[in-house]
A and B are shown apart, each in its own frame.
Chain A
Amino acid sequence: MDWITIISTTVKAAINVETVLYALAAIGINVHFGYTGLLNFGQAAFMGVAGYGLAVTVTVLGLPFWVGVIVGLISAVIMAILLGIPTLHLRADYLAIVTIAAAEIVRLVFRSVQFKSVFGGSDGRRGFTDGFYALNPFPEGNYGFNLGPVPLFFNSRSMWVLTVGWLLIALCCGLVYLLMKSPWGRVLKAIREDEDAVRSLGKSVFSYKMQSLILGGVIGCLGGFIYGLAYGSVQPDVFGTETTFYLYTMVILGGAARVLGPVVGAMLFWVLLVLLNGVLSEAVGAGVITFIDTNQAGALRYVLVGLGLILLLIFRPQGIFGDKREIAIDAR
């Protein structure tokens, strides 16, 4: 078994582009679900409209990269408003149903034959990242170092995406930290606990929920940009509901309503997946495990991560950064 490769890919997974884009989207979910108590199951759609906003503006309309980013951001805000107006008066569980349906509508529109000339059908769009990589300050080459015998290197394109991505994560975490320390954040947390009590104290619950939905949606849409830029393409099925479910997994893993919870959750999630994938496929390849083949190893890692999550919820329901006292109150 090639342990060097396994360790190398695993360590890189902690900061790699999947981690970055999922961490950003999970920070958004944390604003919605962790702080405001909004069960938004349509986060993948926020990523989708941003990615497609950028891609379509650049490839179909031929406009510059920065315009594409602005279009993506505006699309996310508009989507939050359109989603919020009819649903934010509803109870939490209805919001979950409506957002999951809305996200599916968005995905199906992106992959529809009708709009193939705009969104590119199930193949999606590619070739919109030149503007971004033109700004790359890193010259061609590999960057990194050897950790003992383990090589940890990224090429210059990855370096640029990761730099921008982690800067965005730092920015978003700082923003969330400042906001949740403030009276504004206090209103959000109070809405999570009891809307009617907040109403009786003279706060417009609808307005705060809408602000939360927009903020989390915009943060989530940054994840969509990173996806498009890192992979050089957007496809509709990337923004399916399982993406949203992974995001919730990360938020709960790290600890909901904690500033760094979603970031650490995303890192752990990908480290675990990559490690299990490496170990299982190497073990199958080397003949150590004989009862499954390589394809089944890919599926088995999700089974094992799921099992780990179940154990986490039983033995540490508050997640990694959570406060046990809060869970005790919930159980009353």
Chain B
Amino acid sequence: MLRDRFAIYYQSPMPDLDMPNAKAFAAEDRRQRGRPMFALVVTGILPPRLHVMKHLKGVRSAGVIPLVEWGPVDWPPMEAVRLALIYEQPLGGRVMESMTDVITANQDHQFAKTVLRPLSVALGELNNHGVNHRAIRPTNLFYADAAGTRIVMGDCATSPVGLDQPVVCETIESGMCQPEGRGAGNFSDDYYALGVCAVMLLIGRDPTAGLDDAEIVKRKLNQGTYATLVSDQRVPLNMIEVLRGLLADDTSQRWDFEQLDLWFNGRRMSPVQARPLRRAQRAFVFMNQEFLSTRHLAHEMATHWDKAAPIVLEGKLEIWLRRGLDDNQLADQVAMAIRNATAASERSRRSLNDLALANVLIVMDPDAPIRFREVRAHMDGFGGVLSAQLARGQDTRSITDVILAEIPKMWLGVRESFSPEYVQLDGTFKELREFLLDGANKGAGLERCLYEMNDSQPCLSPLFEKELVLTIRDVLPALDRIGTRMDGKTNPLDRHLVAFVAARFPKEIGPQLLALNESDPKRSTLGMLSLLAVLQWRLGPEVVHGLCSWVGGLMGPIINSYQSRERRRALEQEIPRLVRKGSLPELYNFVDNADERKADFDEFQRARADWAMAQQQIHNLESGQVGADETAERMGQKAAATGAVGVAILSVGLVLVSYLM
């Protein structure tokens, strides 16, 4: 049950409406029975788009499937808490079940009005809410009505942004990325995808079906998207202009809501012409192919990474840029990129090659994603790549290498115009690098990078395997729930949890993190308690009995940090009472009371002084026994002599008296 209103029937799956990262189930609104709805329950391992859900809930538009409600629910099939989204059910099913499907071509003269316009309006509405859909593909379009007259866009919140998009629906730059590294993109990416969908609806199939992703990107690079998708197809003449506008590869030329609206209202504009790439007079041969433009060459080099590095470092590329392409400025940039990479002499040869090639590819095609060995991601897509790699248990070395080698700095360095966003990105990646360099500490490392780069990333702590911790406010309630069944040895703050809190908590928690990472168990336990206490103090809830009971069992090092055994006994007796109150700040204040600590310290110092003094006295007495014989002899002899002399005097006195009387 979601928010005590929407019942989700896990016994009634609806596989036709499944999403790649979520399963669909029948759902019912208890207050409005009969309203057809279904629930998408995020059962996959990848993070959903939380901020999109927040905005989508308020969007009412004919072209998008309405999100009625969303939130965490207890999910019996997994015995866990999972995120559920309640949507109004599209009654006509998917437009295309798969990208290889062939459907009836939409030959309706009113296509623009009945299909394109509602979708465009929906995108405009989403844009007004600051949301880009990034999941517009024929397999995510639905017929809202049973008659199949109204098409709506499906869910875009259950998967990471752009992850499930087929390459054909993505722009050239985005298509070059690995799916996880496409990043948030921008609104114009949605209009591009809308254009691709329009083509497929008009011709009834995917014109690139059967081609692999690399081939699609290559064709788009060589011919342009419009030519790749439309040139051999029969599309209505009245649609050519709008398709050219939507499928423009140049972002600045691509149509957006405003231009579409003008077009819908009858204004005809000059057709968009692709801006030609600068071409060389003579070709550069790589992998037995001839290349005339840097963009194509860069793409091919990124595809054949190991073969490209030596060629770049030998200087052949630079020569071609100067003589073949006659672009000395670019050649200088390439030379500088190589010099920058090879300046760090402590790197291995392979690392130098990789770094040099990554830098050179950025210079040759600044709009393309950052490419480094097998990583291909936009600046805002690194978070997605890292998130997916961690969720799948894959090696994350290449991402950390990119950040540590400061490749993003190179990317920012070749931007032609200034943007405040670039300054922010520069700062972010500097911070991420510091976190990686400080990797041994909790609250830093790869985990911190993960949460810093992914706002929607739920906490991946193993403790929360059955829980769903999406925001900082979910942390303590989740810990409280699992607290009752935890043993007295498990630390509630593992690396993921600390990194999550450090990334999401808006207040300064540096001192707590510092204490938490101390090697001294007392200090680290105090740091742990202090951090949890601050969370409860700032964010609530009022009482956390389960967590208090759990943490109360871990107070051993703190109790033992008091020297006085009597104080320890008093603490041990008092802690259960505080645990029952469920207040971590009170528990913290009690176990780390400054006055008590000072008294304990002072009294301990006095006890030590007492002990040392007693020890000294014992030592003196014991070492005195060694010379006791001499002393006793001396004293005995003196006493004997004195006594004898006294007896003599007494005797003389008595005799003398007897004679005198």
The yes or no verdict on A and B being binding partners is no
Q: Which residues of A contact B (CB under 8 A)?
A: none
